[in-house]
Each structure stands twice: as structure tokens, then as C-alpha cells.
Structure 1
Amino acid sequence: MSEKNREGKRSARERLREQREKERLRARRRRTMGVAGAVVAVLGVAAGVGMVASKSGEDSSGKSGSRAVAPRGAAGTVITSGKAGAKKTLTVYEDFRCPGCKQFEDVFRTTVHRLQDKGRMKVRYHLVTIIDGNMGGTGSLHAANAAACAQDAGKFRAYHDVLYKNQPPETKDAYANKSKLIKLAGKVPGLDTRTFRRCVEDGRHDGWVRKSNAAFTRSGYNSTPTILLDGKAVYGDPDKPLSPRKLKRMVTK
């Protein structure tokens, strides 16, 4: 074979090798760009989820710019009733329009009060507006605000009980009527004052109630009433029903 022919074959092999190398580099660039594009897409989706979650949190907290004015003595979004030194804590997530909440209150009210008054148990109330969200209306919000106004006056427990004893049917948003809430305050000695009326009419604690409901939404619980004893769910399990006697035993043992 002549030197010229050998040189020609070598050049052809080199050109083929160079062409393959170029194709390999182009393929690698395409893969790199694909990965980068996927990362950007994932980040974009994550940003979208973040905005949705943030927007959802904002909506459930109330209108933008609304002030969350906590009632007197509240710790964050919690109103505590009972002696601070009580060793047991009952946590209650409730809605004043919720029939199930009324059922719990009607059955357990006397036992809960006795345990509170004896210093055995304190109750941490989280006021939520789940019925307003599910059925429409503002009764849950307005009633919770009125209860917070009663907390300002040091009469939360008594007014709380009045609201449940006089709870309207779930389908009738009667607690949206602030005049009704003020009228019910007449059942609590010393509560129906000008200050209380103004607090109810102005919706002084509406923003705080919305904040409390947003905290409930984030808590992982999704129904009312949710009842916890020292952080453990104790109500609503048909296989382990709770009774007033059982609650008393669990607190005093």
C-alpha cells in the first residue's frame, strides 16, 4: 500500500473519530441542558406550591391587613380556662355553630367544670370557623369574636356555655346576627356592657379568630370537636368511647 493511501485512510479514521467526539459532546450538552431545564421546572413548581400555601394561609387568616387583636389573657391563639397550676390539660378545638361541639359540651360540661374548679384540670380553647367555611355564613366568626369579647371581661366560661346552650340549628346562621349575640350576653351577669357591645359590633377580635382558625388548619386536625388530654386524642373513637366518668378517672388517677 502506498504512503499516500495509508495517509488517506488515517485521515478518514481521524475524521470519523472527530465526528464521533463532536456527536458525543453534543449529546452531553443536550443531557446537561435537559437536567438544568428539569431543575428549573421543579423549582418553578415548588415556587408555585409555596405561593399557593402562602395564599391559602393568608386567606384562612383573614383579609390582608386585618389586625389580630388577641383577647385579654390569651396566649397566642389559645384561651385557657381553669387554674394555671392544674396538672392535666384538656385541649378543645371547637366551633360555636358545630352540633357535635354542642353535644360534647352538653354531656361533659358539668364534669369539666368540676375538674377545673378543683384545680385538677385546665382547658385550652381553640376557636375555629369550620362551619362558616363548609356551609357559608359568618356565625362561627361572630360568635367566636363575641366569646373573645367576653374573655376581655373575665366572663369567657359563662358566655361560652350560654352560646352552646342556645346554639341555633347548623343550617341557620343565626349567630351571624350580632344583636342576638349581645342579647345572649344578658344571661351572664355583668357582661352586657357598653364595652362588650362595642367589641362585638366592631368585630374587635375577628382577625384573631381568623388567625386561630388558620392555626387549626395547619395543625393536622380536620374536624370539630377535637378533644385532647395532655396532647392525646381521647374523643371520637367509637371503639374507645369517652364518658364523663372515664374522663374524671383519667384526670384524677
Structure 2
Amino acid sequence: MSENNREGKRTARDRLAAEREREKGRERRRRTLIVASAVVCVLGLAAVVGIVAANSGDDKESAGPVVEPKGAAGKDNLAIPVGKPEAKSTLTIWEDFRCPACAQFEAQYSPTINELAGKGLLKVEYHLATIIDGNMGGTGSRNAANAAVCAQDAGRFTEYHDVLYKNQPQESDDAFAENDHLLDLAGKVDGLDSGTFKKCVEDGTYEGWVGESNKAFQNGGFRGTPTVLLDGKDIFADEKNPVTPQQLKQQVEAK
């Protein structure tokens, strides 16, 4: 391997690690805000509850009934499966469509993940979180997740999932909250732009299910998004030496 290639890989890993550190910093600030709010609860319980709810990603007012999407898998059927069920390796991914680190992860790893899944060597379980909605405000994480699950019903989850990340707005820009924007992006996926998909997006059919997925993330004790587990082991546990796409491929192919 040339020095330039090694340097490029180091730079990519450094960018991903830096973004994950920023995400953890935002999470620490969120927790600090919640603790501070609790300290002043005597000044108004209703106000404190509002702050806690806004920063935990809960959307109780808009969450509808829990409708399970087609093919839902994993614990409590809260994952979108990709790949053949009989694959020897399982990759569990917790993501938020507004999360910049998730977009960087997808840019670097999705070609390898999609290749391995296509070969029948890897099955992937995608879990959708909405922590950026709680941290930054808005509903873009939830609406984008709902739209992605609508795409699952049409058999186009992977393609639409990738389109969302390739067109991710700035973290502070809640563009994914606009259903018209999500529908426009569906035009980039063959066979997805349909009346059925539009109704699913506009009705928020899977918002309740997305809410349950986010609760599972919050209760899972994860450090942040993306959290990526290969056969139960965090590939980013050693942040100075994370599993690279090539190493991921080698580990899966060795099974």
C-alpha cells in the first residue's frame, strides 16, 4: 500500500473519530441541561418536563399507533433487516438520519456493507434513532426515519436509506422535516415514487414504530450514533483503531 493510500485512510478515520467525539460532546451537553433543569424543578415542574422531553427525542404529541413495517426483525421487531437471514455474520447499526457522523460512516462503509449483504455473507439490522431531533429540535430525524420505513414496504429501503445520507442537510437544518423534500428524494430511487409511498410518508404511518425504536436506543446504554456492532461487538470500541471497511470485509469473509 502506498504512503498516500495509508495517509488517506488515516485521514478518513480521523474525520469519523472527530465527528463521533463532537456527537458525544453534544450528548454530554444534553445530559447537563437535563440535570440542570431538574435542579430548578421547584420553579415549575411543567417547564422542566418540557425541557427534558424536548432533549430526549420524544415526540409524544405526534407519535401515532405502533405499526410494524413489512419484514421487521430483531428484538421487539424494531429493526429493518437487509440481506439473507441465513448469513453467518450480523451487523447491527443504530443511526439517525440527521447525524453527521452517521453520514460519514455510511459514505465510508456502505459500499462494503452492501457488497457483503449482496453476496449473502452479511445480514444487517438497521435501528433508527431520533436523538438529533431531541438535541437540536425539529422532527427531521423522525420524518426521515418514517419515510425510510415506508420505502421498506416498497422493497427499496437500502436505496432510499443511501439517498437520504447522500443528501443529508446540515445538522442544524431540519430539511428532512418537510415531507415534500422527502418525497422529492424518492424520485432518485427507481420504483419508489408512488401514491402508496406518498400516503405512507404524509400519514406518518410508522412514526409510532420509530418512536419505539428510539426508546430502545435510549434504553440500550449506547454512547451515540452511529453505534455499529459486528456479531455483538462494537467496531468502534477502540476509537484509535476502529475496524476499517477492509477489515470488516476480511472478518466477514473469514466466517
Is residue 97 from structure 1 mapped to residue 98 from structure 2 by the alignment?
yes
Q: Quick check: 2:57–2:131 contact (8 Å CA) kept in 1?
A: no
User: Which residue is equivalent to 2:235?
Assistant: 234
Between Structure 1 and Structure 2, how many residues are aligned? 199
Structure 1 residue runs of 5 or longer lacking an equivalent are 1-51
User: Which residue is equivalent to 2:144?
Assistant: 143
User: Which residue is equivalent to 2:249?
Assistant: 248
Q: Quick check: 1:91–1:227 contact (8 Å CA) kept in 2?
A: yes
Q: Quick check: 1:61–1:213 contact (8 Å CA) kept in 2?
A: no
Which amino acid in the other structure matches residue 85 of structure 2? A
Q: 1:139 to 1:236 in 2, by over 3 A?
A: farther
In 2, distance between residues paired with 1:188 and 1:59? 29
User: Which residue is equivalent to 1:203?
Assistant: 204
User: Which residue is equivalent to 1:41?
Assistant: none
CA offsets per residue over residues 10-38 of structure 1, 9 Å max, x none?
xxxxxxxxxxxxxxxxxxxxxxxxxxxxx
User: Which residue is equivalent to 1:126?
Assistant: 127
In 1, distance between residues paired with 2:63 and 2:97? 25
User: Which residue is equivalent to 1:194?
Assistant: 195
Q: Shift of residue 62 of structure 1?
A: 3.2
Q: Which shifted more, 238-247 or 139-148?
A: 238-247
Measured on the aligned residues, the alpha-carbon RMSD in Å equals 2.0
Which amino acid in the other structure matches residue 238 of structure 2? D
Which amino acid in the other structure matches residue 101 of structure 1? C
The alignment's TM-score, normalised by the length of structure 1, stands at: 0.75
User: Which residue is equivalent to 2:116?
Assistant: 115
User: Which residue is equivalent to 2:70?
Assistant: 72
CA offsets per residue over residues 163-201 of structure 1, 9 Å max, x none?
001111111010001100000000001101001001001
In 1, distance between residues paired with 2:107 and 2:144? 18
CA offsets per residue over residues 115-166 of structure 1, 9 Å max, x none?
0011110100000001001110000000000000000111100000000011
CA offsets per residue over residues 22-62 of structure 1, 9 Å max, x none?
xxxxxxxxxxxxxxxxxxxxxxxxxxxxxx9xx98x98473
User: Which residue is equivalent to 1:14?
Assistant: none
Is residue 106 from structure 1 mapped to residue 139 from structure 2 by the alignment?
no
Which amino acid in the other structure matches residue 62 of structure 1? K
CA offsets per residue over residues 61-104 of structure 1, 9 Å max, x none?
73498301111111211110011110000000000000000000
Which amino acid in the other structure matches residue 219 of structure 1? G
The alignment's TM-score, normalised by the length of structure 2, stands at: 0.74
Q: Shift of residue 241 of structure 1?
A: 2.0
Q: Quick check: 2:96–2:141 contact (8 Å CA) kept in 1?
A: yes
Q: 1:65 to 1:234 in 2, by over 3 A?
A: closer
In 1, distance between residues paired with 2:63 and 2:99? 28
Runs of 4+ in 1 over 4 A off after TM superposition: none
Q: Quick check: 2:57–2:133 contact (8 Å CA) kept in 1?
A: no
User: Which residue is equivalent to 2:12?
Assistant: none
Aligned residues: percent identity?
Answer: 55
Which amino acid in the other structure matches residue 203 of structure 1? G
Counterpart secondary structure, 1:247:
helix
Which amino acid in the other structure matches residue 156 of structure 2? K
Q: 1:220 to 1:251 in 2, by over 3 A?
A: same
